[in-house]
Amino acid sequence: MKIAVCIKRVPDMDVKFKIAASGTAVDESGLKYDMSDFDGYAAEAALQINEKSGGGEITAICLGPDAVGETLRKALSMGIDKAVQLKCDAVPFDGYAIAQALAAELKGGNYDLILFGRMSIDSSNQSVGPMVAELLGLPCVSAASRLDVSAKTSGTAQRELEGASETVSFPLPAVVTIDEGVARPRYPSLKGIMAAKKKPLEVKPAQLGAVSVTVSKMELPPERAAGRIIGEGADAVPELVRLLQTEAKVL
Amino acid sequence: MEQMTTGNFVFAAVLLGAAGFFSFNAQRLARYLQFGTGAESSRVSDMPTRVRNLLVIGFAQSKILRDPLAGPLHAGVFWGFIVLTLGSIEILLQGVFNGFSYDAFLPRSVFAAYTLSQEFFALLVLGAVSALIWRRVVTKPKRLQGPGTHQAEAIFILSMIAGLMVTLFLMSGFASARQHGMEPGMHPIGAVLGRAFGGLSDSTKFAGFAINWWAHALLLLVFLNFLPYSKHLHVLTSLINTFFSNTSGPGTKGAMKPMDLEAEGVEIFGAKDVEQLSWKNLLDGYSCTECGRCTAACPANITGKLLSPRKIVVDTRARLLEKAPVLAARLEVVATGATHSGGEIGGDAHGDAHGGGHAVAEVPAPDAATQAILDKSLLDHYITEEELWACTSCRACVQECPVSIDQLEIINEMRRNLVLTESRFPEELLPAFEGMEQKGNPWAFAPGDRAAWAEGLSIPTMAELAASNDTPEILFWVGCMGSFDDRAKKVTVAFARILKAAGVNFAILGQEESCHGDPARRMGNEYLYQVLAKAAVETLNGYKITTIVTHCPHCFHQIGSEFPQWGGTYEVIHHSEYLERLLRDGRVPMQEEDNERLVVAYHDSCYLGRYNDVYDAPRETLRRALPILDLVEPKRTKDRGLCCGAGGGRMWMEEKEGKRINVERTEELLATGAETIAVACPFCMTMISDGVTAKGASTEVLDLAEIVAGRLALEAARSAS
| Sequential pLDDT tens for chain A (251 residues) | 999 999 999 998 877 788 999 999 999 887 889 999 999 999 999 999 999 988 899 999 999 999 999 999 999 999 999 999 999 999 999 999 999 999 999 999 999 999 999 999 999 999 999 999 999 999 999 999 999 998 889 999 999 999 999 999 999 999 999 998 877 899 999 989 999 999 999 999 999 999 999 999 999 888 888 888 888 888 889 989 998 998 888 87
* CA B31 to mean position of chain CA atoms: 25
Cβ B231 vs Cβ B162: under 8 Å: no
Q: Give the pLDDT of residue B4.
A: 78
- Number of neighbours of residue B317 by Cβ within 10 angstroms: 22
Q: What is this model's ipTM?
A: 0.77
Give the pTM. 0.90
Nearest CA in chain B to A195: B267
B420, A189: Cβ pair inside 8 Å?
A: yes
Query: Which of A190, A191, A197 to mutate against chain B (most B CBs within 10 Å)?
Result: A190
Residue A237 lies in a domain: no
Residue A76 lies in a domain: yes
Length of chain A in terms of residues written = 251
Query: Which of A16, A74, A194 to mutate against chain B (most B CBs within 10 Å)?
Result: A194
Cβ B294 vs Cβ B394: under 8 Å: no
* CATH 1.10.1060 segments of chain B: 274-421
Angle between helices B6-33 and B202-226 (to 10 degrees): 20
| Ramachandran area for residue B292 (φ above 0: left; ψ -120 to 50: alpha; else beta) | left
Residue A70 touches partner B, C-beta closer than 8 Å? no
Q: Give the pLDDT of residue A15.
A: 77
Task: Report H helices in B336-403.
Answer: 368-375, 378-381, 385-389, 396-400
Q: Give the pLDDT of residue B183.
A: 83
Distance CA B342, CA B169 (A): 62
A190, B261: Cβ pair inside 8 Å?
A: yes
Q: Specify the CATH number of the domain B593-720.
A: 3.40.50
Q: Give the pLDDT of residue B393.
A: 98
- Number of neighbours of residue B447 by Cβ within 10 angstroms: 23
Distance CA B134, CA B273 (A): 38
Number of H-type helices and E-type strands within chain A = 6, 11
Residue A161 lies in a domain: yes
Q: Give the pLDDT of residue A226.
A: 81
Residue A218 touches partner B, C-beta closer than 8 Å? no
* CATH 1.20.950 segments of chain B: 6-33+67-140+151-229
Residue A160 lies in a domain: yes
A189, B421: Cβ pair inside 8 Å?
A: yes
Q: Looking at the 3D structure of chain A, how many domains does it have?
A: 1
Residue A226 lies in a domain: no
Distance CA B251, CA B43 (A): 10
Q: Give the pLDDT of residue B262.
A: 85
Residue B255: φ, ψ to 5°: -75, 130
CATH number at A125 reads 3.40.50.620
Distance CA A251, CA A244 (A): 6
Q: Give the pLDDT of residue B190.
A: 92
Residue A102 lies in a domain: yes
Residue A14 touches partner B, C-beta closer than 8 Å? yes
Distance CA A21, CA B490 (A): 38
Q: Which of A16, A34, A188 sits opposite B423 (nearest CB)?
A: A188
Q: Give the pLDDT of residue B260.
A: 92
* CATH 3.40.50 segments of chain B: 429-583, 593-720
Angle between helices B108-134 and B188-197 (to 10 degrees): 80
How far separated are the first and last CA of chain B, in Å rounded?
91
Q: Give the pLDDT of residue B345.
A: 58
Architecture of domain B6-33+67-140+151-229 in this structure: Up-down Bundle (1.20)
Architecture of domain B274-421 in this structure: Orthogonal Bundle (1.10)
Residue A188 touches partner B, C-beta closer than 8 Å? yes
Distance CA B122, CA B168 (A): 8
Q: Give the pLDDT of residue B354.
A: 44
Residues of the domain holding A56? 2-205
| Position B321, amino acid | L
Distance CA B591, CA A149 (A): 75
Distance CA B289, CA B70 (A): 14
Name residues of chain B where pLDDT drops below 70. 1-2, 180, 337-362, 594, 715-721
Q: Give the pLDDT of residue B358.
A: 47
Distance CA B203, CA B174 (A): 11
Yes or no: domain B429-583 corresponds to CATH 3.40.50: yes
Q: Which of B433, B448, B527 sits opposite A193 (nearest CB)?
A: B527
Contacting residues for A38 by C-beta, under 8 A, at least 6 apart: A116, A117, A118, A119, A120, A121, A177, A178, A179, A180
